[in-house]
Amino acid sequence: MSKVLMKGNEAIGEGAIRAGCRHFFGYPITPQSELPHYLAKRMPEVGGVFLQAESETSSINMVYGAAGAGFRVMTSSSSPGLSLMQEGISYLVGAELPCVIVNVMRGGPGLGNIAPAQSDYFQAVKGGGHGDYKLIVLAPASVQEIIDLMQVAFDLGDKYRTPVMLVGDGILGQMMEPVELADEVTVPEIAAKPWAAGGLQGREKPNIINSLYIVPEDCEELNKKLFAKYDVIAAEETRWEEYRLDDAEIVLTGFGTAARIAKSVVDKARAEGIKAGLIRPITLWPFPSEVYARAAEHAQKFLCIEMSMGQMLEDVRLAVNGKKPVHFYGRSGGMVPLAKDVLAEVKKIMAGGAE
């Protein structure tokens, strides 16, 4: 193992390569462009393919082709690009194709800006494209966790034949942190994909990659099948981090960069005698609802911290289910919450002063 200083965007690329991904299709957009820069150099070194597509719409459809042919494949973009990909994501889900889609989120709506944000939470976890579906959504909070979760993303995608999304923000993409990397790049074992349509090659019956179910009964069957799969994923693959939660009177929660800030506030609050704890969802879908329900048994208050006007907040409130008040502190449009402001909010809430 070697410890190296690595940029978040580059870690996404290196993590993908170490997870056995050898195909990348994408279109430039700030603040994730270091990822295509990195893979344009790195993919040929490992015998892979890097292709700059003409649009995000094309990128995601190239992913559809490569995934349907049976390969580990990914694309990445930032918020406006993800809006363009939603059509393709819906088709990938319908055809049950595994792939990894990265969103290094930036300020919106519209062209917004290139500063860090988390305001595509709804788009990521509530559907985004048309139709009845979910994506597995992973939210790393450090550069090391980006590397680790890229492997998880590809493995879960293949295991459940589903697209997996990894969401970060401009800070996670742009920042450099130390990461531990194995010195050798080894190709992980990837299970065979007998459903892939990569040419008959001696097989008798053609494979068809398709999301068209013209008979409504058949389409309903597909949806039932997808949701049965989602039940298994929710039962087996939910991930989260708890921090000083056991005796917490106020539970801070957030994901990604916001969770890092919240975690530091937990320590600062404890230093001032406030029993604070943290729940950090690592899978945004499936959402770790039970952890909140459990915490609501002993905690008095919740505070959700986001780089948005409050999106994950709705899932936290559903999970807490009215048992305790759930407060919100967010910055939006590319602004980042400051630890001292969050701490002030915590103090205000615990003094009974906040709404």
Q: Which residues bind other proteins (CB under 8 A)?
A: 3, 5, 23, 25, 30-31, 49, 51, 53-55, 57-59, 61-71, 73, 87-88, 91, 95, 114, 170-171, 174-178, 197-202, 206-212, 257, 260-261, 263-265, 267, 336, 338-339
- Distant-in-sequence, close-in-space partners of 26: CB < 8 Å, separation ≥ 6: 35, 36, 39, 51, 52, 53, 56, 59, 75, 76, 77
**Residue 207 or 289 with smaller CB distance to other proteins:** 207
Short-list 121, 119, 122, CA closest to 108: 119
One-character DSSP codes across 233-297? HHHHH--EEEES-TT-SEEEE--HHHHHHHHHHHHHHHHTT--EEEEEESEEES--HHHHHHHHH
Between 309 and 338, CB nearer to other proteins: 338
Residue 318 Cβ vs other proteins, minimum distance, rounded to whole Å: 27
- The span from the CA of 108 to the CA of 119, in Å, is 7
* CA 325 – CA 135 distance, rounded (Å): 29
Q: Which is nearer to other proteins, 49 or 318 (CB)?
A: 49
- Residue whose pair of structure tokens reads 């701490």 in the numeric block: 343
Token pair 């103090």: residue:
347
Q: What's the alpha-carbon Rg for the chain, to the nearest Å?
A: 21
Question: Coil, strand, or helix at residue 229?
Answer: helix
Rounded to a whole number of angstroms, the minimum distance from the CB of residue 352 to other proteins is 26
At its nearest, how many Å lie between other proteins and the CB of residue 355? 25
Residue 229 CB, shortest distance to other proteins, in Å, is 21
CB-nearer residue toward other proteins: 16 or 320: 16
Long-range contacts for 267-275 (Cβ within 8 Å, ≥24 apart)? 268/339, 268/343, 269/343, 269/346, 269/347, 270/244, 272/347, 274/249, 274/250, 274/346, 274/347, 274/350, 275/247, 275/248, 275/249, 275/250
SS3 93: helix
Q: Which is nearer to other proteins, 89 or 296 (CB)?
A: 89
Of 159 and 260, the one with the shorter C-beta distance to other proteins is 260
Nearer to other proteins, 88 or 281 (CB): 88
